[in-house]
Structure 1
Amino acid sequence: MAKTRNAAANKAAKAEAKAARKAASKERRSQLWQAFQIQRKEDKRLLPYMIGAFVLIVAASVALGLFAGGFTTYLMIPLGVVFGALVAFIIFGRRAQKSVYRKAEGQTGAAAWALDNLRGKWRVTPGVAATGHFDAVHRVIGRPGVIFVGEGSATRVKPLLAQEKKRTARLVGDVPIYDIVIGNGDDQVPLAKLERHLNKLPANITVKQMDSLESRLAALGTKIGPAAMPKGPLPTQAKMRGVQRTVRRK
């Protein structure tokens, strides 16, 4: 009897897990379709680029198949369709990503949002320092070492960066410390190129050293705390008096 109950429970659990995966997959497809519809309306070149890439790749595959002859002719057609669809999807993803960064650029909290969406083994601590105007410095720990990323007015951010580098240098020893200011001016990094810029930095420390650094730097804390930072980019003209008062009280 116990075995029967266990078997029934396992079967029910598997069915529930399968239903959850199916629901999650359906939700992802729905979100993807919605994102495509929004991007298609905003980006008039999206469909021509996607369709053009798809047709070009399929045509090239068919031509190659006809040239090779035999069974290859029939093999190249489905391969061309699959590869063409993949390239079209990549084009959609790249253009959608550029559009998102373009909208976020210049908005409060944009750099923190971009850092939070980094791919790879990065340890991000948002808002280690900030001003009442929402100029902020965020700390990133990665294979290059410690990276401080500042957003806001360069004249106000640079002193914050210098102060954080000085505080941190006392704890990290010979570990390299980098500083980045987000923007489109001289010696600044555009928001859309932030991840690429971080990935180009040399690997100076190991993952174990990253863990040790994270523990040591946690003792420094933050000047304002992540809770006071906006959750994602905010419009430049947004009313943020309440949040600014929170920062000043910190």
Structure 2
Amino acid sequence: MAKQDKPAAEKKQGRLKQIVASYRMTKKSDPRIGLILLGTFLVAGALGFLLFYFLPGGWILDVLTAVLIGLLAALVVFGRRAQNAAYTQIEGQPGAAYAALGLLRRGWKTDSAIAFNKNQDLVHRVVGPPGIVLVGEGNPNRLKPLLANERRKHERVASETPIHEVIVGDPNVYAGAVPVSRVAKHVQKLGRAVKPAEMTDVLARLKALDANRSNIPLPKGPMPTNLKGARQNMRGR
């Protein structure tokens, strides 16, 4: 019985370590996170207690319910601020858009740096319900020929599949650019043109295209950590 309980205990400790790591990461760019979470817990807990105080039941149940409400509110706030802190820390780094695209759920296929130049302007590819999405990050003027070249290549092997182009950056600097913090949501809102059953054929066509890239060296420098971990930590996964 002890052997069966050991993995569960180790898994619980792993989750706690992830939450602690997320908190430390968030505190670097959000020093007031501790006070904010404490205030959220107290305010939400007090409101929960007042709400249930006038309902039938003992005060012990009211206190327990208030504590649970306070904890839930604090976790929600923590999750959002941790994700914002992660965006802040990776913004401007090569590969930031790819890290943000990691928030896309099941049913999406993301490939990093399918095209790039010596200035580390990158083009990533996402395949999902909207079709093929080419996501560029870097200098918009240098990205235009990269995206145009990739569009031509993809049209040759998947001419019937819609192809979208997205440039990640500051919309105040380049009109039409999508901030890294919104790129995943932007891609999800591009529509639904490819059915799940058609995805297999599209991916097979792209695999043949990518076979010619196998000997191309990847750009130097580490990719930012996938943002998906911050969200999973808040869910206890």
Which residue matches 2:35?
Answer: 48
Distance 1:177 1:28, change over 3 A: same
**How far off is 1:216 after superposition?**
0.8
- Asked if structure 1 preserves the Cα contact closer than 8 Å seen for 2:133 and 2:165, the reply is yes
- Distance (Å, rounded) in 1 between the aligned partners of 2:77 and 2:120: 35
Which residue matches 1:129?
Answer: 115
- Structure 1 gap segments, 5+ residues each: 1-10, 235-250
**Cα-to-partner distance string for 1:173-231 (whole Å, 9 max, x where unaligned):** 33211111110021101111111111222122111211211111111116477972444
- Give the residue type in structure 2 aligned to 1:217: L
Secondary structure (helix, strand or coil) at the match of 2:191 reads coil
- Distance (Å, rounded) in 1 between the aligned partners of 2:145 and 2:213: 14
Which residue matches 1:202?
Answer: 191
Secondary structure (helix, strand or coil) at the match of 1:219 reads helix
Name the TM-score, length of structure 1 as normaliser: 0.79
Which residue matches 1:26?
Answer: 13
Q: How does 1:55-94 map to 2 (within 5 A)?
A: 55-68=42-55, 70-71=56-57, 74-94=60-80
**How far off is 1:56 after superposition?**
1.6
Percent identity, aligned pairs only, is 31
Q: How does 1:113-192 map to 2 (within 5 A)?
A: 113-184=99-170, 185-192=174-181
Distance 1:48 1:225, change over 3 A: farther
Which residue matches 1:96?
Answer: 82
**How far off is 1:76 after superposition?**
3.6
- Distance (Å, rounded) in 1 between the aligned partners of 2:63 and 2:189: 39
**How far off is 1:159 after superposition?**
0.9
Q: How many residues align?
A: 220
**How far off is 1:35 after superposition?**
2.5
**How far off is 1:44 after superposition?**
2.9
Structure 1 runs, 4 residues or longer, greater than 4 Å off: 222-227
Q: Name the structure where helix makes up a greater proportion of residues.
A: 1
- Structure 2 gap segments, 5+ residues each: 226-237
Secondary structure (helix, strand or coil) at the match of 1:71 reads coil
- Give the residue type in structure 2 aligned to 1:63: L
- Asked if structure 1 preserves the Cα contact closer than 8 Å seen for 2:110 and 2:124, the reply is yes
Distance 1:225 1:24, change over 3 A: farther
- Distance (Å, rounded) in 1 between the aligned partners of 2:135 and 2:215: 16
- Asked if structure 2 preserves the Cα contact closer than 8 Å seen for 1:126 and 1:225, the reply is no
Greater gyration radius:
1
**How far off is 1:116 after superposition?**
3.7
- Distance (Å, rounded) in 2 between the aligned partners of 1:190 and 1:113: 13
Secondary structure (helix, strand or coil) at the match of 2:184 reads helix
**Cα-to-partner distance string for 1:13-49 (whole Å, 9 max, x where unaligned):** x82x642342232122123113313423542331232
